[in-house]
Amino acid sequence: MVMENWLKEVAGDSRGKAVGGSMELGMTRGVVVTMDPQNDNKNSIMISRSRSQEVKFKPLRNGQTARLVLALVMSTLVMMVAVSRLTLLVVPWSSSSPTEQPLQSVLSNHLNPSVLKQTTVASTGDDTVKNHLSSSTELKLIPKLPVTTRPAQLAESSSSIDKACMSRSQQQMYRDSAHQFPRSVLLDHALEKYTEMHSQCALLLDDGNDTSVQVKKGCQYVVYLEGYEGLGNRLLSLVSAFAYAMVTHRALVIDARRGHLAQLLCEPFHNSSWLLPPQFVDAVWGASTLEDAMRWNFQNVTSVRINLRHKQTEADQTFFCPATQKGVRNITWIWWESNQYYVPRLFMIPDFWSLLSSWFPDPSLVFTQLTRFLCLPQNHIWAQIKRIRAAYLASSMIQVGLQVRRHANADNATLVPLVHELIMNCSLKHHVLPKLVLPVMPQRKEQQLALGNQPVAEMSVGSSSSSSWTTTQSVAVLVTSLHIQYYEKLRNLYVEHGTEDGTVVSVHMVSHEGVENESYEQAVKALTEIWLLSFSNKLETTSWSTFGYVAQGLGGLQPIILNFFTIDAQHETRPACFLGQSSDPCLHYPFVKPSKCAGVKMSRQHSKWITTHIRPCQDEVNGLQLCSGGNKYSE
pLDDT tens figures, 393-438: 999 999 999 999 987 666 655 678 899 999 999 999 999 999 998 7
Q: How confident is the model at residue 442 (pLDDT cuts 50, 70, 90)?
A: low
Decide if pLDDT at 450 tops 60. no
Q: Is residue 585 a contact partner of residue 573, using CB atoms and an 8 Å limit?
A: no
Phi and psi, residue 200, nearest 5°? -70, -30
Q: Dihedrals φ, ψ of 214, to 5°?
A: -75, 125
Per-residue confidence (pLDDT) for residue 426, from 0 to 100: 97
Residue 306: the pLDDT is 96
- Its CATH architecture, for the domain 379-580, is 3-Layer(aba) Sandwich (3.40)
Residue 233 and residue 339 in contact, taking contact as beta carbons nearer than 8 Å? yes
Q: Find the distance separating the first CA and the last CA of the chain, reported in whole Å.
A: 19
Which pLDDT tens digit goes with each residue over 296-310? 999 999 999 999 999
What pLDDT does 101 receive? 35
DSSP-derived letter for residue 27 is -
Rounded distance, CA 356 to CA 209, Å? 40
Count Cα atoms within 13 angstroms, Cβ side, for 403: 28
Condensed to tens digits (0 to 9), the pLDDT of residues 142-167 reads: 233 333 333 333 434 444 678 999 99
**pLDDT over 60 at 73, yes or no:** yes
The mean per-residue pLDDT over the stretch 328-339 comes to: 96
**What is the structure's pLDDT at 35?**
47
Contacts of 300 (CB under 8 A, 6+ apart): none
* pLDDT at residue number 295: 95
Residues 6+ apart with CB under 8 A from 118: 141, 471
Answer yes or no: is pLDDT of 278 > 50. yes
Which range scores top for mean pLDDT: 61-70, 98-107, 252-261?
252-261
Mean pLDDT value of segment 566-589? 93
Place 570 in a pLDDT band, splitting at 50, 70 and 90: confident
Rounded to 5 degrees, φ, ψ at 165 are -150, 80
Whole-number pLDDT of residue 104 = 29
More confident residue, 87 or 235: 235
Instruction: Give the pLDDT band (50/70/90) at residue 441.
Output: low
Q: How far apart are CA 543 and CA 207, in angstroms?
A: 51
509: nearest Cα among 531, 490, 492, 487: 487
Other Cβ atoms less than 10 A from the Cβ of 228: the count is 10
Q: Structural domain boundaries of the chain? A: 16-83, 185-362+369-374, 379-580
State residue 479's pLDDT score.
97
169-198 pLDDT, tens digit per residue, is 999 999 999 999 999 999 999 999 999 999
User: pTM value?
Assistant: 0.73
Q: What is the DSSP string of 310-344?
A: SS--TTGGGTTSHHHHHHGGG-SEEEEEESS--HH
Local confidence band at 528 (pLDDT 50, 70, 90 cut-offs): very high
Mean pLDDT confidence for 240-248: 98
Contacts for 143 with CB less than 8 Å, ≥ 6 apart: 110, 111, 112, 115, 177
Render pLDDT for 36-53 as a digit per residue (tens, 0 to 9). Answer: 444 444 444 443 444 344
- Side-chain half-sphere exposure of 231, counting CA atoms within 13 A: 28
Give the pLDDT mean for 365-386.
Answer: 98
Q: Which of 402, 543, 393, 388 is nearest to 479 (CA)?
A: 402
pLDDT bracket for residue 469 (50, 70, 90): low
Q: What average pLDDT does the chain have?
A: 77
Longest dimension (CA), the chain: 114
CA dihedral 562, 534, 556, 351 (to 10 degrees): 100
Neighbours of 241 (CB within 10 A): 26
pLDDT given for residue 408 in this prediction:
65
At residue 568, the 3 state secondary structure works out as helix
Q: Is the model's pLDDT at 129 over the cut of 90?
A: no
DSSP 381-426: HHHHHHHHIIIIITTSSEEEEEE---SSSSSTT---HHHHHHHHHH
Distance CA 294, CA 285 (A): 15
Burial track 331-364 (b if 16+ CB lie within 10 A, e otherwise): bbbbbbbbbbbbbbbbbbbeebbebbeebbebbb
Instruction: Give the span between the Cα atoms of 630 and 614, in whole angstroms.
Output: 11
Q: Are 458 and 451 in contact (CB under 8 A)?
A: no
Backbone angles phi, psi at 415, to 5 degrees: -80, 130
Give residue 215's pLDDT: 83
- Starting at the earlier edge strand, list the strands of the sheet with 586-587: 586-587, 624-626, 614-616
Mean pLDDT of 89-109: 35
Q: How far apart are CA 434 and CA 470, in angstroms?
A: 9
Higher per-residue confidence, 217 vs 570: 217
pLDDT at 516: 82
Q: What percent of the chain has pLDDT above 90?
A: 55
Query: Rounded CA gap, 581 and 551, in Å?
Result: 15
Any idea how long the chain is? 635
